[in-house]
Amino acid sequence: MDFLSKVDPELKQGLEVLPVLRLPEDLPMARQFTPPAVDKSDAVLTIERHIASAGESEMLVKIYQPAQRGTDELPALLWIHGGGYVLGHPSGDDALCQQFVEAAGCVVISPDYRLAPDHPYPAAIEDCYAALVWTASSSEELNIDRSRIAVGGASAGGGLAAALALLARDRGGPAICFQMPLYPMIDDRNVTPSSHEITYPPVWNRANNEAAWKLYLGELAHEDITPYAAASRATDLAGLPPIYTCVGQLDPFRDETISYIARLAQAGVDVEFHLYPGGYHAFEVFIPEAEISKRAKNGYIDALARAFNR
């Protein structure tokens, strides 16, 4: 496939400015990157807290909520940042979390879960589960509606969100009303056509995906993988919350996302799915002013607002 000829014209400029990442050798350098500061919204109050993680230490969570709120309970979104399970921090999604608060009238909780390879599976998903349990158990303190708790994330964050929906169902944990795993990293096998097609740097590609999965799974990489590590491994998808997701047609996760969505629909789960031609991995993050990026971001922000107001 001629990758460049398929890219949306407005998104091609991103390919000229994106740094090339090669895992695992570039991981230490990539972790030194500090995301640019975002304009603070006067309508959103941001609080940092430390809660008990699944490990022996405490975990930072960032809480975003309307600066002016009444006494009514608000819905809550547990938002999980991306980064291939090896990179990222909640602060990298400050702007997006503020948008969720303003558009959906909700509280957003974003955990700083442990990263591989220092902390391979199951550290990240157990931290996310701990954050979900804390959110539900702190509903009175946070003044949130326990019947309207959603989970979401993008890329590896989307993979964790999908796995968390499975884990919460199987453990009988806090009820999740809606899941929003965007272009999720959910299949460690890398056998789909799209996983072979997308090899072009600097977008997220086959080589980095294979490396990231090995770093995340650690010693489990050559064993039978649980769906709580890679949600596409799940065989029972019944009883999961409604889902919204999207993916670019030039994303290596295209086919695993389509397959997962199809199986969810077959299991009776309500699904909404959007495929964006010409879009590579996380295109709306890298080129936010492109028309296709605005459509994609508005699509999932609106989907969250609708889910909370059903």
Q: Which residues are catalytic?
A: 155, 251, 281
Q: What is the 3-state secondary structure (H, E, C) of 187-224?
A: CCCCCCHHHHHCCCCCCCCHHHHHHHHHHHHHHHCCCC
Question: Is beta strand 58-66 parallel, antiparallel or unpaired with respect to 74-80?
Answer: unpaired
Indicate the SS3 state at residue 76.
strand
Please, which residues have CB within 8 angstroms of residue 219's CB and are 6 or more apart in sequence?
120
E-strand ranges in 144-288 read 144-154, 178-182, 243-248, 271-276
Please, which residues have CB within 8 angstroms of residue 106's CB and are 6 or more apart in sequence?
74, 75, 76, 77, 100, 304, 308
Task: Please state, in angstroms and rounded to a whole number, the distance separating the CA atoms of residues 202 and 208.
Answer: 10
- φ/ψ (deg, to 5) at 151: -125, 145
Indicate the SS3 state at residue 164.
helix
Question: Is beta strand 178-182 parallel, antiparallel or unpaired with respect to 44-52?
Answer: unpaired
Task: Please state, in angstroms and rounded to a whole number, the distance separating the CA atoms of residues 54 and 45.
Answer: 27
Kindly state the helix (H) or strand (E) to which residue 65 belongs, with its residue range. Answer: strand 58-66
| Cα 211 to the center of its chain, rounded Å | 19
Query: Token pair for residue 283?
Result: 């295109």
